[in-house]
Amino acid sequence: MHYSYIIIDDDPESVLKTKALIASFSELHFIAVAYNHIDALNLIIEHNPKLIFLEIDPANKKSNLSLGLIDSLYRHLKVIPKIIITTSKKDFAFEAIQYEVTDYLIKPLKSIDFKKLILKLEKSNYDDEIILIESPDLEENVPSTLSIETTNKKKNLILCVKSYGDHRYIDSKDICYLQADNNSTDIHLSNGEIITAFKTLKHFQAVLSIPFIRIHNSYIINRNYIARIHTGNSVCYIKNTTIKLPFSKSYKKNIDFIISDFSNENYIEI
């Protein structure tokens, strides 16, 4: 998905740094900048962005930038954009939680912050929807539709491959990785079974979210099945197998995210 955004910050240098970091993410589309409360409110009402990056501890107090902007939005809008706080202090984090902001990023911002944000947004969108994917009519003995369904946020995602009245249900937690095969995709399960779905890997990349992460033109991996990452050889090892999947330079940021994500868990480096 694509997300339009507005930056609200009274520090021009900070604005330029934020824009520079976001520029490498094609999912995020810049609209405008506001340096004070009034201009910010007018821009948001005019453009209705998906995201707002908001500084709440401004250098110039006359800019009136604060969490109070969210109260102003509720007085004017039925649907509030997702608010991402960008500030150098942790002091306002608890108060921001009360406002139900989407994220709270501490300056100086890093590229990985925005990668995590995009994954969070995609996961949130996916959890809130039931997605039905129709494929075009195919030749005989080829599955005519592939549906991906969710019925409860607390349950695992279920993929259903349909073929002439046969409904094959796949629990997403059992998928190790997905491999491109021309215009179809091979779904590799933890029990060694391979199921073919007649959708491209690009299609799966658009509808699947974390823990499924694309690492190569030919592979999407379930990070929960990664046992080892060798950055020198550019390969990921699958748990309890001898399988090694290559990752390419164009997806190196995704590998960096996986490594960072592991380090945020119950983790000891030795």
Q: Is the pLDDT of residue 135 over 80?
A: no
Provide the β-strand partners of residue 204. none
Q: Is the pLDDT of residue 14 over 50?
A: yes
pLDDT in tens, 91-125: 899 899 888 899 999 999 999 999 999 998 887 76
What is the SS3 assignment for 233-268?
CCEEEECCCCCEEECCHHHHHHHHHHHHHHHCCCCC
Q: Is the pLDDT of residue 54 over 90?
A: yes
Ordered by start, the domain boundaries in the chain are 3-127, 145-263
Q: Is the pLDDT of residue 138 over 50?
A: no
Task: Calculate helix-pair angle for 68-76, 37-47, nearest 10 degrees.
Answer: 40
Q: Say what the pTM is.
A: 0.51
Q: What is the CATH number of domain 3-127?
A: 3.40.50.2300
Task: Tell me the two tokens of residue 208.
Answer: 């699947």
How does residue 140 score in pLDDT terms, banded at 50, 70 and 90?
Answer: very low
Q: What is the CATH number of domain 145-263?
A: 2.40.50.1020
